[in-house]
Amino acid sequence: MVVTVRHALGQYDVHIEAGLLATLPALLDRAMPARRRVVISDETVAREFEAPIRASAPLLLTIPPGEHSKTRSAWARLSDEMLSSGLGRDTGVVAFGGGVTGDLAGFVAATYLRGVPYAQVPTTLLAMVDASVGGKVGVDTRFGKNLIGAFHPPAVVVADPETLRTLPAEEFRAGLAETVKHGLIGDAAYFDWIESALARIQARDPATLTRLIQRSVEIKALVVSEDERESGRRETLNAGHTVAHALEHVTQYSLAHGEAVALGLVAECRLAARMGVAPAALADRVAGLLHALGLPVELPRGLAAGALLQAMRMDKKNRGGEIRMALPASLGAMHRAGPAWSVPVPCELLESELGERD
């Protein structure tokens, strides 16, 4: 099945089907014709998927796995290696792996010789349902996550659910947190379906995962097609992430992204209730589904509330020194204040919700 994502300069297709890696070279030829291809992957993924990677491109560049590789120094090294290999503007980059690889490889493609096309081949659930779609690429800095980057839509996304069979449980749950977010922000019936399909999802039933990926991609595609550069509705895709990115930053990324998103979704639902824009029962329902999926719903002890607030002050949605969040109004709908999809949240309310964690 194919989901089409539209953007200012055209559109690209997201292919979702078990067994697609067997046809990957043909899909890349069609999306990036007459291109000399280079694959960027992490070392673990490169070993596991050696055969389809070798079939896709003559050159493979790797990074160590994990968020700590998504840096400006890694971007510089990869760019220099491509330059030293003599790759010109007829190059096509293939991001083969999870969200870190996709963000970093996409940023390399966005900036290499002022921009070359790239393809996303996500191998984690998180990357399939979220990171590979939308064209946001970039790197982290010591000030926060994704603060240096660009909007650079891929030429194609190829998502093969069979790659999820051996995905570690923690990484699989990370993607599930994003699917819950998609139901929360845009489709109550999808949220209901996730609740009803828990056993099949956790068993990684191929047909169920295909449907899960497809619906999440459809929801995200609808939003990013309407707001490519995050000037309006696209902010709703950041639900849960203001708190999540702060949690990741203050824990130096020892907290997994999916766990941080789960905690952020619950915290921001509670904040929405306290601000009077959402019913109190919403946070309980969201927490119930996240807990059933094996994700945490209560902030860990030992965190400094002040450090979390300081990290939130670097969030890209902020304006005029105010911490802004995209908050839910009800299951499947986000709060909107006039034209704005994010609202300022008082620091005293944040401190109260986050609690004393010094």
Hey, which residues are catalytic here? 114, 136, 178, 220, 230, 234, 238, 241, 245, 257
Going through 8-47 in order, the beta strands assigned E by DSSP cover 10-16, 36-42
Residue 265 CA to residue 283 CA, distance in Å, equals 8
**Contact of 173 with 228, CB cutoff 8 Å:** no
Per the document, the length of the chain is 358
Q: Which helix (H) or strand (E) holds 348?
A: helix 347-354
Which residues in 307-333 are b (16+ Cβ under 10 Å) and which e? Answer: bbeebbebbebbeeeebbbbbbeebbe
Q: What is the dihedral of CA 227, 218, 209, 270, to 10 degrees?
A: 50
Residue 253 CA to residue 223 CA, distance in Å, equals 28
Nearest alpha carbon to residue 328 among 284, 285, 265: 265
* Helix intervals (H) in 159-204: 169-186, 188-196, 198-202
**Contact of 168 with 252, CB cutoff 8 Å:** no
> No. of H helices and E strands in the chain?
15, 13
Nearest alpha carbon to residue 132 among 50, 210, 224: 224
Query: Residue 20, Cβ neighbours under 10 Å: how many?
Result: 18
DSSP structural state of residue 25: H
**What tokens appear for 2 in the block?**
């194919």
DSSP structural state of residue 340: B
